[in-house]
RNA sequence: GCGCCCUUCGUCUAUCGGUUAGGACGACAGCCUUUCACGUUGUAAAGACGGGUUCGACUCCCGUAGGGCGCGCCA
């Protein structure tokens, strides 16, 4: 029996949880679930300049919205700095690291020179073999890892396969800054080791870091975790979906009206697949998810497909559940707070009754919100351009004819209303559409809506007749 | 510049040497229809290029081109 799987999601809190991070978290989560293991959350906050408490909150909220959870409390990497320092000292004591007295300015000059001469940009090992006695006075040293210079470092990656990096291309990285703070590559290794992480699943942008980290694991005599470097998500143009290029935080997707279940389904299908399966539940994802089905090429983010998937989830969600999702969504939508304030028991009932007709027409919760607008509107109803046109083009007269008919319907239900309107249309020699559109315009203020008889029923007799009379010619 | 990775319809992908290269989104067309949708039927649409290996390559190897990632006292 092998030990239980431990994965981790380790974002740096320098901004919101972007969509690529969300998928990395999803893969870690799904793999942990699939194997009966657990996922840990570690906040990589060692960069004190850029890490913020707001970002931590945004990440946690984003993960929570996505429906991803983790075992235990989030770990602060910065909080473990003392331990990282100890490891750096240990490496130093063992001769596997050394003090480097180069100043940042010198290093910058070194890089500039290398670039100008079109040489690989690498630390030249100035202090690798010098003795501390040669140290310049007044310069605080950083500690560098003494990386092997010959041979190669092999990454056995579940996704990338066997990746071989020549050691000559990996220079001596700083593991402890001159101010005594550990750097990323050291902290990651120490934390993953101490936290018992068995499987590292992260973006391929960390692939070369993996090589350096493996060298540190070796130097410490620690076991190297299983690694999976997953492809990045690109924008529609093929370029990296970076923060600078319009990459959005998961909260933006929430505001755009996407359902977490749809996001999970969509994200799961980026660089991962299970045969021809396109739409599947999170339970199925957990059941099916495995590392060997992850592809190596980057995927482009496609809003059209996300939207299609989202529409599917909206349509198939039970009405009561959808209503709850809708109400939870409202505060995040434009003008949604005002709508939410209007939701009382009666409105809940109306929404629930209207939802079957509404959800067929909505691909996002924003569209659902817009579609439901007519339920919240108050007389006199605001009318959009098309609706006004319908009323003007003879609609008002049609309404004048049909209102008395509707007023006589004793049982105000869709079926009876339909019977009444249809026979009226027939008697008047009008096609049903000629009657339905004016009704729709007057009732909803728009030219599109759910089935008109359902609209009449949901609005109720009094409100319906009042709205119709507002627009009927006298 | 150096290193690593990638390349099947516009997009996401299936294919693990032998298929009429399949599915999904999107597009287009038809049907349904009180609007818009939904639903449904159908159509168009792909192995980057060039060499090998093989009886046989989308699949294996090499090269070319294009793309991505990395090369901080950032993570």
Q: Examine the pLDDT at A243 and tell me if it is beyond 60.
A: no
Determine the straight-line distance between the first and last CA of chain A, rounded to whole angstroms: 84
Question: Mean per-residue pLDDT for A270-289?
Answer: 97
Distance CA A218, CA A54 (A): 37
CA of A72 to C1' of B62 (A): 51
pLDDT tens digits, one per residue of A149-192: 999 999 999 999 999 999 999 999 999 999 999 999 999 999 99
Q: How confident is the model at residue A242 (pLDDT cuts 50, 70, 90)?
A: low
Establish whether A243 is a catalytic residue: yes
Question: Mean per-residue pLDDT for A366-371?
Answer: 96
Q: Of A240, A243, A386, A434, which one is the catalytic site residue?
A: A243
Q: Which residue has the tokens 């408490």?
A: A53
Least confident of A72-76, A122-126, A308-312, A327-331: A122-126
pLDDT tens digits, one per residue of A132-144: 777 677 888 999 9
Question: Mean per-residue pLDDT for A325-354?
Answer: 95
Complex ipTM value: 0.96
pLDDT at A180: 92
- Kindly determine whether the C-beta of residue A305 is less than 7 Å away from any atom of nucleic acid strand B: yes
Distance CA A73, CA A80 (A): 14
- Kindly determine whether the C-beta of residue A160 is less than 7 Å away from any atom of nucleic acid strand B: yes
pLDDT at A246: 47
Question: Mean per-residue pLDDT for A1-9?
Answer: 87
In this complex, the nucleotide whose C1' atom is nearest to the CA atom of residue A106 is: B73
In this complex, the nucleotide whose C1' atom is nearest to the CA atom of residue A122 is: B71
Question: Mean per-residue pLDDT for A213-226?
Answer: 97
Measure the CA dihedral A339/A341/A347/A349, to 10°. 110
CA of A158 to C1' of B5 (A): 14
Lay out the sheet containing A174-176: strands in order across.
A97-100, A142-145, A174-176
- Kindly determine whether the C-beta of residue A209 is less than 7 Å away from any atom of nucleic acid strand B: yes
- Mean pLDDT for chain A? 93
- Kindly determine whether the C-beta of residue A161 is less than 7 Å away from any atom of nucleic acid strand B: yes
pLDDT at A121: 75
In this complex, the nucleotide whose C1' atom is nearest to the CA atom of residue A435 is: B34
- Kindly determine whether the C-beta of residue A136 is less than 7 Å away from any atom of nucleic acid strand B: no
- Kindly determine whether the C-beta of residue A440 is less than 7 Å away from any atom of nucleic acid strand B: yes
- Kindly determine whether the C-beta of residue A341 is less than 7 Å away from any atom of nucleic acid strand B: no
Q: How confident is the model at residue A103 (pLDDT cuts 50, 70, 90)?
A: confident
Q: How confident is the model at residue A245 (pLDDT cuts 50, 70, 90)?
A: very low
Q: How confident is the model at residue A86 (pLDDT cuts 50, 70, 90)?
A: very high
Q: Examine the pLDDT at A101 and tell me if it is beyond 90.
A: no
Long-range CB contacts (within 8 A, 24+) of A117-121: A120/A169
**Among chain A residues 376 through 395, which have CB within 7 angstroms of nucleic chain B?**
none
Q: Examine the pLDDT at A1 and tell me if it is beyond 70.
A: no
- What is the H or E stretch that residue A145 is in? strand A142-145
Q: Is A259 exposed, middle or buried (0-12, 13-18, 19+ CB in 10 A)?
A: buried
Q: Which residue has the tokens 């990589």?
A: A44
Q: Is A100 exposed, middle or buried (0-12, 13-18, 19+ CB in 10 A)?
A: buried
Which bases of chain B are contacted by protein, using any atom under 7 A from a CB?
1-8, 10-14, 22-26, 33-39, 67-75
C-beta of residue A27 within 8 angstroms of C-beta of residue A201: yes
Question: Mean per-residue pLDDT for A92-112?
Answer: 86
Query: What is the value of pTM for the model shown?
Result: 0.94
- What is the H or E stretch that residue A27 is in? helix A19-35
């Amino acid at each position: 029996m092998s030990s239980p799987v431990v994965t981790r999601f380790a974002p740096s809190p320098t901004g919101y949880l972007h969509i690529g991070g969300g998928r990395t978290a999803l893969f870690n989560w799904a793999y942990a679930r699939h194997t009966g293991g657990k996922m840990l959350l570690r906040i990589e906050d060692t960069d004190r300049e850029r890490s913020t408490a707001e970002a931590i909150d945004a990440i946690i909220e984003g993960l929570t919205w996505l429906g991803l959870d983790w075992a235990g409390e989030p770990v602060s990497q910065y909080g473990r700095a003392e331990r990282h320092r100890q490891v750096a000292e240990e490496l130093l004591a063992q001769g596997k690291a050394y003090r480097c007295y180069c100043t940042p300015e010198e290093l910058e000059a070194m890089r500039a020179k290398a670039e100008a001469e079109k040489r690989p940009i690498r630390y030249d090992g100035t202090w690798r073999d010098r003795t501390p006695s040669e140290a310049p006075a007044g310069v605080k040293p950083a500690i560098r890892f003494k990386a092997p210079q010959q041979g190669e470092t092999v990454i056995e990656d579940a996704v990338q396969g066997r990746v071989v990096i020549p050691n000559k291309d990996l220079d001596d990285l700083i593991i402890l800054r001159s101010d005594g703070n550990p750097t990323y590559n050291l902290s990651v290794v120490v934390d993953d080791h101490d936290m018992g992480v068995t499987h590292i699943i992260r973006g391929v942008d960390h692939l070369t870091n993996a090589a350096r980290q493996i060298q540190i694991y070796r130097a410490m005599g620690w076991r190297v975790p299983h690694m999976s470097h997953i492809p990045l998500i690109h924008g529609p143009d093929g370029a990296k979906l970076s923060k600078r290029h319009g990459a959005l935080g998961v909260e933006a997707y929430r505001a755009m009206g996407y359902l977490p279940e749809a996001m999970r389904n969509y994200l799961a299908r980026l660089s991962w697949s299970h045969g021809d399966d396109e739409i599947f539940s999170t339970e199925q994802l957990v059941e099916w998810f495995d590392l060997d089905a992850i592809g190596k090429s980057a995927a482009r983010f496609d809003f059209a497909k996300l939207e299609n998937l989202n529409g599917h989830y909206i349509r198939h969600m039970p009405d009561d559940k959808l209503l709850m999702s809708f109400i939870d969504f409202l505060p995040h939508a434009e003008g949604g707070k005002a709508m939410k304030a209007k939701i009382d028991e009666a409105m809940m009932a109306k929404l629930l009754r209207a939802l079957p007709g509404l959800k067929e027409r909505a691909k996002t919760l924003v569209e659902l919100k817009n579609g439901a607008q007519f339920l919240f509107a108050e007389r006199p109803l605001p009318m959009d351009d098309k609706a006004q046109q319908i009323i003007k083009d003879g609609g008002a007269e049609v309404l004048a004819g049909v209102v008395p008919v509707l007023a006589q319907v004793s049982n105000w239900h869709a079926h009876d209303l339909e019977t009444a309107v249809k026979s009226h249309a027939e008697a008047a020699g009008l096609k049903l559409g000629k009657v339905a559109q004016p009704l729709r315009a007057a009732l909803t203020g728009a030219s599109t809506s759910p089935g008109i008889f359902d609209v009449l029923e949901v609005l109720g007799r009094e409100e319906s007749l009042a709205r119709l009379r507002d627009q009927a010619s006298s």
